[in-house]
Structure 1
Amino acid sequence: MLKKIVGTTGTRLLNAFINLAILLLITNKIGSEGFGVIALIMVDITIIQMLIDLVAGSALIYFSSRANIGQLLFPAYLWIGLVIAVFFGFSIFTQVIFPVLYTTIVPAGFDLHILTLALLNALMITHYNLLIGRERIKAYNIIFTIQILSFLGVFVINLIILGDQTPLSFVHALYIAYGAGSIIAFFTVLSKAGPLILKGWKGILRQVIHFGYISFLANILNIGNKRISFYVLRYFTGLSALGIYNAGVQLTEGLRIIGQSISLVQFSSISNSDNREYAKTLTIKLMKFTLILTLMAILILLVIPESIYTWVFSKDFTEVKPIIIALSPGVVALAANNIFSHYFSGLGNPKVNMWSNLVGLVFTIVLAFTLIPLLGYIGAAITASVSYISSVVYQYFVFKKETQTRFTDWIPVKKDVSDFVTLTKDAIKKKV
């Protein structure tokens, strides 16, 4: 268990350092307005993926050990193609009928890029989910590392050697990274898939949708919680302010790698077990580790002087520190949210996540249209933190009711620390 966690965390840490390098390149070479364009591109891709997740999302992780790979891949590919086609038609319709809305959501000249990248990203994530579901975490980590390194390499070449200091340099790097990730993961999935069986895929599809539609709705609400403020901020303050806010988001939400790495292995383990007591104990223990590590990382960001941020990210980003301060409580809540969400999904009960995200979305909608016009990106940061906290508070009370957990169970004790240190040393000795 911990061996997989350490391995995944190592990969995610590498990803965090690469993302930091990418952030430095963007802020110093492309600037705040260009970063605002990049932010919109990534949010648009995320929204398309959100709909694709109905058939090709986390439900694949759950069913990958319960169905033949062919029965999962075939409907996933069909659904991906359908969603991309629908968005293509919708983009044409919106551009003609609602041009102001369209330009707020889609950066000018990037519509076809967004659709193509969304297709590649969907294929990549589909293959990743199948690897995770079959507990091939090591293979997933290797491919993910190749993906992020290929992105950085191409991005540096575009910026430094070719001199393309525009958002297009970022887009072209995404093509290579998503393409490499999807192709390598595809052949890795097939390498141990055995004979591919298509017969019965319709029945499996119905099961996937039945299981996945709740996660799908939860994901829609989750994306709304996290990214609706981007569009509101873009509308009221422009691309430059969005770029500055996105820099703060990237720095703080980059700390999610701690919770993401741990919860990834947590979900894989829980979804392959029927022992609810094991799931409860594992979740509580991993929650403690996650929150402690996240708090330590947040404190490091908070003690860095504002002048250092300005020096590192250029004068366009002088207001990053206040954004980080406002986002910090939300980042801690996100870490807890990751653990709770994977607990409920792993037990086949994603409805809890859906309702928690709905709670957060209510706060997001009310506060975004209230605080952002008044406070700009600081208002967006406060909105995000309140939304994340409200979501995780709901999850906490549901978990407490279902498992009869006492508050004292969450308090770290000396044994927790010693267990974690011992297990980490053992994992390192095994050369993860």
Structure 2
Amino acid sequence: MKQNTIVKTFLSRFLILILNFGLVIYSTNKWGSEGKGIISLVIADLTLISFFANVFVGSSMSYFAKRYRTEAILPFAYIWAVLMGILIPLIFSFNHASEYLIYLIGLSVSSSLLAANVNLFVGQQNIKMFNLYTALQQIVHIIFILIIVYLVKVNSVTVYFVAQIASLGVLFIASGLQIFRHCNMRRISFSGKVGGKLLDYGWKTQLSAFLQFLNNRLSFYFLEYFKGIVSVGIFSVGIAFSEAIWTVSRSLSVILYSDVVNNKNSNDAIEKTKVSLRISFLITLVFITIMLLIPGQIYSMIFGRDFSKTKEIILFLSPGILAIAVSNIIGYYFAGINKLRILNVKSLIGLIFTIISSFYIIPRWGIRGACIITSVSYCISSGILFWRFYQMTKFRFQDFILSKAEINLLLNKVLKKNRTLK
């Protein structure tokens, strides 16, 4: 794994981290806890839909990017993205209020189409383009929000969704033009064999991801049912902090996955996994410590009076945040070597715990109970993945400690990058 790639990816993830915080702060102050709750539930639905779309547009695109021609796999991804992006939201509308259905369809189609392109870049080991388009999703989204609010003078919460659809659409077109410059349109084909391979790998990875999503988000729906939409908005800020911190581990995971699927040396893949693991562990620990050192009054001042318990939420979530930061790395390693059963097992066990405990704890303890359930569930599922990984390799405490040489190398790269920017 190239150290320069790791540093560039970390810097891009750090930028996304800042932008995520900025967007959370703006949305909570602009639309309040109720508006933030609506955004959280729509995005939760979008994430759920993405698991169906990602059967073809997700990790299967990365896994088969160098095994088949782009012209043979991309058509499957695009058609599937449009079908799922329309069909699944319509199915959801029978059980959900349809007020935001049109926005959910727009978000589903545009995000899935862009995901196909971005995941193709990962499989081609074009991490530069992956970093660029991942960062631009936040940047362009914010730009469109500001244009709509301050130039068009629209202030409803739907601005968030319209701006996101526009940003995803623009980036899909831009990335698509890059991809098709290197494609022969006359070689576009639909092979049953290729489609079958994409489907077989895709549904297995997405089953694990779907179970993990339910594990991550089920508390939203329990909170809405037992305590109301406002509590969802308050709780979602703590979850937003969690996911912002995970941008580091997720980006390292993508780099690792790109290396592993193209690497025939199993020992080399394991060592790269351990390097990513300790970087993710230590950086996540630093971010959590910083957030816990910030006085609670600062969070209230930034997000508003409704969010006075944000520090307490982060405190209860912090063990789980750290656990997921580690398991993200190991999970992508298993996906890269096509060992998917353990991913399903760990997600299913965590989900069962979440469902059973939520019925008893959330009605009694509310948001605090949701935090405890989420954190414990994260730790259980991550512990199972951690145990399985270290059955395959020797456990060392040094796996979680950066060596002096690695620290110096990272610092030199960062300083060099800063001098270049100046």
TM-score range, shorter-chain basis?
over 0.9
> In 2 relative to 1, CA 70–235 (structure 1 residues): closer, same or farther, beyond 3 Å?
same
- Give the 3-state SS of the residue equivalent to 2:275 in structure 1: helix
- Tell me which amino acid in the other structure corresponds to 1:117: L
- Tell me which amino acid in the other structure corresponds to 1:406: F
TM-score w.r.t. the length of structure 1 is 0.92
Distance across 2 between alignment mates of 1:279 and 1:184: 33
Match of 1:97 in 2: none
- 1:173 correspondence with 2:174: no
Q: Any idea what the Cα deviations from partners look like across 1:135-175, whole Å, max 9, x if unmatched?
A: 11112222333332111111123334444332111111111
Q: Alpha-carbon deviation of 1:225?
A: 0.8
Which deviates further from its counterpart, 214-223 or 369-378? 369-378
- Tell me which amino acid in the other structure corresponds to 2:72: Q
Query: Can you give the 5+ residue segments of structure 1 that lack an aligned partner in the other structure?
Result: 95-100
Query: Can you give the 5+ residue segments of structure 2 that lack an aligned partner in the other structure?
Result: none
- Tell me which amino acid in the other structure corresponds to 2:209: N
Distance across 2 between alignment mates of 1:306 and 1:429: 36
- 1:102 correspondence with 2:102: no
Match of 2:236 in 1: 246
Q: Quick check: 2:57–2:77 contact (8 Å CA) kept in 1?
A: yes
- Give the 3-state SS of the residue equivalent to 1:67 in structure 2: coil
Q: Quick check: 1:363–1:387 contact (8 Å CA) kept in 2?
A: yes
Q: Quick check: 2:86–2:109 contact (8 Å CA) kept in 1?
A: no
TM-score w.r.t. the length of structure 2 is 0.94
Match of 1:202 in 2: 192
Q: Quick check: 1:154–1:173 contact (8 Å CA) kept in 2?
A: yes
Q: Quick check: 1:2–1:424 contact (8 Å CA) kept in 2?
A: no
Distance across 2 between alignment mates of 1:294 and 1:369: 31
Q: Quick check: 1:36–1:243 contact (8 Å CA) kept in 2?
A: yes
Q: Any idea what the Cα deviations from partners look like across 1:377-401, whole Å, max 9, x if unmatched?
A: 2111111111111111101111111
Distance across 2 between alignment mates of 1:184 and 1:42: 24
- Tell me which amino acid in the other structure corresponds to 1:381: C
Distance across 1 between alignment mates of 2:54 and 2:26: 31
Q: Quick check: 1:69–1:197 contact (8 Å CA) kept in 2?
A: no
**Identity across aligned pairs (percent)?**
27
- 1:50 correspondence with 2:51: yes
- 1:305 correspondence with 2:270: no
- Give the 3-state SS of the residue equivalent to 1:109 in structure 2: helix
> In 2 relative to 1, CA 303–185 (structure 1 residues): closer, same or farther, beyond 3 Å?
same
Match of 1:425 in 2: 412
> In 2 relative to 1, CA 272–427 (structure 1 residues): closer, same or farther, beyond 3 Å?
farther
- Tell me which amino acid in the other structure corresponds to 1:372: I
Q: Alpha-carbon deviation of 1:350?
A: 2.0
Q: Quick check: 1:400–1:406 contact (8 Å CA) kept in 2?
A: yes
Match of 1:24 in 2: 25
Aligned residues between the structures: 418
> In 2 relative to 1, CA 423–243 (structure 1 residues): closer, same or farther, beyond 3 Å?
closer
Distance across 1 between alignment mates of 2:10 and 2:139: 16
Q: Quick check: 1:75–1:201 contact (8 Å CA) kept in 2?
A: no
Q: Quick check: 1:60–1:129 contact (8 Å CA) kept in 2?
A: yes
- Give the 3-state SS of the residue equivalent to 2:187 in structure 1: coil
> In 2 relative to 1, CA 421–350 (structure 1 residues): closer, same or farther, beyond 3 Å?
farther
- 1:384 correspondence with 2:385: no
Match of 2:108 in 1: 118
Q: Alpha-carbon deviation of 1:196?
A: 6.0
Q: Alpha-carbon deviation of 1:78?
A: 2.3
